[in-house]
């Protein structure tokens, strides 16, 4: 029970941690870690999801918005878009200009701009080819979080 409490406390402090990082941080064996995580999920105290080849964990009471951010992190391309929009300031930049700067297809740009718009990190001004994109307040905040985590 003490081990389970340690695991739960660590997962709460590090939401989105993956199995091996948790195991190593607490100095536990694979089987012990797997057993206690399974028990915590079974009683509804922890949740997990697949992230590529890794399984990530969080406490079940994690804020749904935070959980969505953990499950759908800002990708490298999305970070690059946020950086370019940050540099463009209030003038904004068109989808075409973004695509040229990032050497990305129109379809790829549409996908990532859609993802960033859905999370309210960017805003669109105007319509069609003349429309410009700029950072929203949420985007400015997210960019500073992404920059800080890159420095850590």
Q: What tens-digit pLDDT sequence spans the chain (152 residues)?
A: 699 999 999 999 998 889 999 999 999 999 999 999 999 999 999 999 887 788 889 999 888 777 777 777 777 899 899 999 999 887 889 999 999 999 999 899 999 999 899 888 999 999 888 899 999 988 888 888 777 766 65
pTM score of the predicted model: 0.59
* Cα end-to-end span (Å), the chain: 33
Residue 12, pLDDT score: 92
99: tokens are 């695509």
Residue 26, pLDDT score: 96
Residue 150, pLDDT score: 65
Residue 141, pLDDT score: 85
In this structure, the dihedral spanned by the alpha carbons of residues 94, 100, 103 and 107, taken in order and rounded to 10 degrees, is: 40
Strand partners, 124: 133
Residue 152, pLDDT score: 57
SS (H, E, C) 93-119: ECHHHHHHHHCCCHHHHHHHHHHHHHC
């Amino acid at each position: 029970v003490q081990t389970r409490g340690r695991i739960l406390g660590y997962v709460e402090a590090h939401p989105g941690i993956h199995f091996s990082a948790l195991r190593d941080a607490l100095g536990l064996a694979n089987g012990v870690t797997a057993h206690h995580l399974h028990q915590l999920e079974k009683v509804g105290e922890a949740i997990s999801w697949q992230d590529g080849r890794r399984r990530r964990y969080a406490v079940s009471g994690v804020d749904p918005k935070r959980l969505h951010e953990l499950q759908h992190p800002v990708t490298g391309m999305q970070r690059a878009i946020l950086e370019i929009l940050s540099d463009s300031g209030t003038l904004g930049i068109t989808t075409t200009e973004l695509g040229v700067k990032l050497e990305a297809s129109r379809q790829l740009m549409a996908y990532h701009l859609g993802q960033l718009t859905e999370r309210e990190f960017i805003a669109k001004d105007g319509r069609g080819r003349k429309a410009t994109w700029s950072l929203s307040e949420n985007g400015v905040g997210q960019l500073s979080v992404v920059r800080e985590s890159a420095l850590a």
